[in-house]
Homo-oligomer: A and B are copies of this chain.
């Protein structure tokens, strides 16, 4: 075991051996194995946005096997997807790459109000049956449905841990409690990371925050203490600090849409700020596979300090 991995695992000393074994697996797969960094391929867009919006740019993506192959060939640490996509490949790709079963999902046909609440579409038992290393669960802090989601997660996480699965929480602020701009505000994203950590997440996924500050009571503290928030690295550092001073793995989605160079710049910021990695979906599987592999390898190289 590398020091990087040992250091990270030491933060999960209270967790069951099965959980630590699966965290070990996630940290020791793919091109980033042993580095303490993670790049994960998530593909839930077919459910969330519909098949044509998700896969017509690169029609290979209609096929669930494609994403297994993409994750493997690009050297990702893990592949995360809803039940159907994993059922359609779990036998063929069994054991070749750690998988994370997304337990709740939302679709765009639903007449969605301002306060979203996803559906629980699979269970810990499904994840165990399919040989997954972890379960994924989305919460929307700021939604009026918070109690429902937190309690679903709370019960599911306890079951997952008791069965040795890693708990990965997508913590996406959204809903009538905050503004649209607030969804990626620094204070809000840091708070979302804290909530996920307090709810018992092992791995926390948040969006890359902007410098915006949303909540008045928080803004005062940021200004009073001059918390640095000018650069991506500074903001990432604050979010990682907010997730138990670095004792919980925090990975980031999103990044600049101005082009690859700016995107890679953001990845460098994550690395400098002490972030543990990235989760990259549409930006990878919507390109032709060869290009996606190149792109993901570039991201991984940045995390490897190359």
**A interface residues, Cβ below 8 angstroms from B:** 11, 13-15, 46-47, 49-53, 56-57, 59, 62-64, 82-92, 105, 107-112, 115, 117-123, 125-126, 130, 141-144, 146-147, 150-151, 154-155, 158, 173, 175-178, 187-188, 190-195, 197-201, 215, 217-218, 221-222, 224-225, 227, 238, 241-242, 244-245, 247-248
A244 contact from B64, B110, B200, B244, Cβ within 8 A = B64
Whether B84 lies near A200 (C-beta < 8 A) is yes
Q: Taking the nearest CB of chain B, how far is it from the CB of A174, in angstroms?
A: 10
Given contacts A52-B221, A199-B83, A221-B52, contact A110 B177 (CB under 8 A): yes
| CB-defined contacts of A155 to chain B, threshold 8 Å | 123
> What separation, in Å, do the CA atoms of A175 and B112 have in the docked complex?
12
Given contacts A109-B178, A217-B53, contact A92 B141 (CB under 8 A): no
Q: Taking the nearest CB of chain B, how far is it from the CB of A193, in angstroms?
A: 8
Given contacts A121-B198, A122-B200, A198-B105, contact A50 B247 (CB under 8 A): no
Copies of this chain, tallied across the complex: 5
| CB-defined contacts of A217 to chain B, threshold 8 Å | 49, 53, 108
Whether B109 lies near A177 (C-beta < 8 A) is yes
| CB-defined contacts of A200 to chain B, threshold 8 Å | 83-84, 87, 121-122, 126
> What separation, in Å, do the CA atoms of A112 and B215 have in the docked complex?
14
> What separation, in Å, do the CA atoms of A15 and B242 have in the docked complex?
40
Q: Taking the nearest CB of chain B, how far is it from the CB of A301, in angstroms?
A: 31
Given contacts A87-B15, A105-B198, A177-B109, contact A227 B52 (CB under 8 A): yes
CB closest chain-B residue, reference A126: B158
| CB-defined contacts of A11 to chain B, threshold 8 Å | 88
> What separation, in Å, do the CA atoms of A110 and B117 have in the docked complex?
13
Whether A46 lies near B194 (C-beta < 8 A) is yes
Whether A245 lies near B63 (C-beta < 8 A) is yes
Going nearest first, the 6 A-B pairs with the smallest beta carbon separation are A13-B91, A84-B198, A111-B177, A63-B245, A51-B242, A119-B150
**Known contacts A63-B244, A63-B245, A109-B192; 16 further A-B pairs (Cβ under 8 A):** A50-B191, A51-B191, A57-B221, A62-B245, A84-B198, A88-B197, A88-B247, A107-B141, A107-B146, A109-B141, A109-B173, A119-B146, A119-B151, A121-B198, A121-B200, A123-B155
| CB-defined contacts of A244 to chain B, threshold 8 Å | 62-64, 84-85, 88
A111 contact from B109, B115, B218, B224, Cβ within 8 A = B115
| CB-defined contacts of A154 to chain B, threshold 8 Å | 83, 119-123
| CB-defined contacts of A121 to chain B, threshold 8 Å | 150-151, 154, 198-200
CB closest chain-B residue, reference A141: B109
> What separation, in Å, do the CA atoms of A111 and B174 have in the docked complex?
10
Given contacts A111-B177, A150-B121, A151-B119, contact A14 B130 (CB under 8 A): yes
